[in-house]
C-alpha cells in the first residue's frame, strides 16, 4: 500500500522523507532556538497556499508585522493571501496578562 505524501516545499527534505510528510499525519517540529523550525513550518504552509489551500499560523513569539517582514525577505508575500482570506495570523505574542485575564472572565 502506497502512502500519499504532501510536499514540504523543500525538495531535498522531501527526498529524504520519501516524497514528503505522509498525508493525515501529525508532525511535531522541535529544536533549539535558531534551528529553523519557523522557516520549515512557514515554507510548508506557503507551499499549501500556493496550491490553493487555506492556512492558519499561530505565533507565541513574534508579532504579525515581524513575521511578515521576515518572510517577505524569502519572497513569501503572506499578506497577499491574507487579503484573499486564504491565510490568517493569530498573534498571541502581543497578548498581555491582563488581556488573558479579561478573556477568561468572559
- Per-residue pLDDT at 1: 78
| Rg, the chain, Cα only | 16
Residue 63 CA neighbour count, 13 Å, CB half: 6
- pLDDT for the residue 60: 84
Mean residue pLDDT of the chain comes to 89
Work out the burial of residue 83: count CB atoms within 10 Å of its CB; fewer than 13 is exposed, 13-18 middle, 19 or more buried. exposed
Mind listing the pLDDT tens digit for each residue in 56-101?
Answer: 999 888 889 999 999 999 999 999 999 999 999 998 877 766 666 6
Average pLDDT over residues 11-29: 93
pLDDT given at position 106: 61
> 53 and 46 in contact (C-beta within 8 Å)?
no
Please report the pLDDT score of residue 50 as a whole number.
95
Which grid coordinates belong to 16? Answer: 529524504
Domains located in the chain, CATH noted: 5-105 (3.40.50.300)
Angle (CA) 24-26-17 rounded to 5° is 80
Amino acid at each position: 500500500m502506497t502512502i500519499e505524501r504532501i510536499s514540504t516545499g523543500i525538495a531535498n527534505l522531501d527526498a529524504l522523507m520519501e516524497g514528503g510528510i505522509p498525508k493525515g499525519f501529525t508532525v511535531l517540529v522541535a529544536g533549539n532556538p535558531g534551528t529553523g523550525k519557523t522557516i520549515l513550518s512557514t515554507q510548508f504552509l506557503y507551499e499549501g497556499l500556493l496550491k490553493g489551500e487555506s492556512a492558519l499560523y499561530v505565533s507565541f513569539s513574534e508579532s504579525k508585522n515581524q513575521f511578515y517582514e521576515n518572510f517577505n525577505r524569502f519572497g513569501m508575500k503572506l499578506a497577499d493571501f491574507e487579503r484573499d482570506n486564504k491565510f490568517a495570523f493569530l498573534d498571541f505574542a502581543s497578548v498581555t496578562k491582563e488581556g488573558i485575564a479579561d478573556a477568561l472572565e468572559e
